[in-house]
Amino acid sequence: SDNMAILLIALSALVFLLLIGWLVSTLQIRAMKRRINSLTNGSDGQNLEGILAAHLETVNQTVHRMELLEQAVGVLQAQLPNCLQNVNLVRYDAFEDVGGEQSFSLALLDAGGDGIVLTSVYSRMDVRVYAKAIRKGQASHALSQEEERALRAVVAQ
């Protein structure tokens, strides 16, 4: 009977320890479920898979837009050497009786040194405009001093 009492106490202690272990495990599982639910449910109720799919779609769209922008930049870079890049304006008085530097010579060149020198000569009676082609920094016609100054300054840029 003493052995039976000891056995009963030992088994009761074992059942009590198992009950405590089960309770601790249940609490840990419940805490893990809460953490998993917080990870898998976004603020708008989407699960983690939906959120990741939406982000992946956004990344793919962004990559596509970047590729389009890179193509556009490539086109612009190819066109840039042919665009006017160097500009210089020289203002002057073409005649002694006209003041205010109303005459001018404007040199416009691209990266290859091609372009024009545009000259406007103002007098009391009229205004005359001349355009002279420039190829690789050299004029196709003789230049006036002012046109030459404008061209030298723009080539030096």
**Mean pLDDT of all residues in the chain?**
89
Q: What is the pLDDT of residue 124?
A: 84
In a shared domain, residues 113 and 98: yes
What mean pLDDT is predicted for residues 51-60? 90
Greatest C-alpha distance within the chain: 141
Same-domain status, 87 and 73 = no
- Express each pLDDT in 2-46 by its tens digit: 888 899 999 999 999 999 999 999 999 999 988 877 776 655 666
Tokens standing for residue 47: 């699960």
Distance from C-alpha of 23 to C-alpha of 29, rounded to nearest angstrom = 10
The pair of three-digit structure tokens given for residue 89, joined into one six-digit string:
């304006």
Domain count for the chain, please give it: 2
Residue 97: give the domain boundaries: 83-155
Planar angle of CA 133, 138, 142, nearest 5 degrees = 70
Residue 100 pLDDT grade (very low, low, confident, very high; cuts 50, 70, 90): confident
Tell me which of 27, 57, 78 is where a domain ends: 78
Is residue 55 domain-shared with residue 121, that is, in the same domain? Answer: no
- Judge whether 135 and 127 are in contact, CB under 8 Å: no
- pLDDT number for residue 47: 72
Query: What would the mean pLDDT of 112-120 be, rounded to a whole number?
Result: 92
| Domain final position from 78, 112, 139 | 78
Q: What is the DSSP string of 113-135?
A: S-EEEEEEEE-SS-EEEEEEEEE
Do 91 and 73 lie in one domain? The reply is no
Last residue of a domain, one of 78, 102, 131: 78
Give the integer Cα–Cα distance in Å for 81 and 97: 42
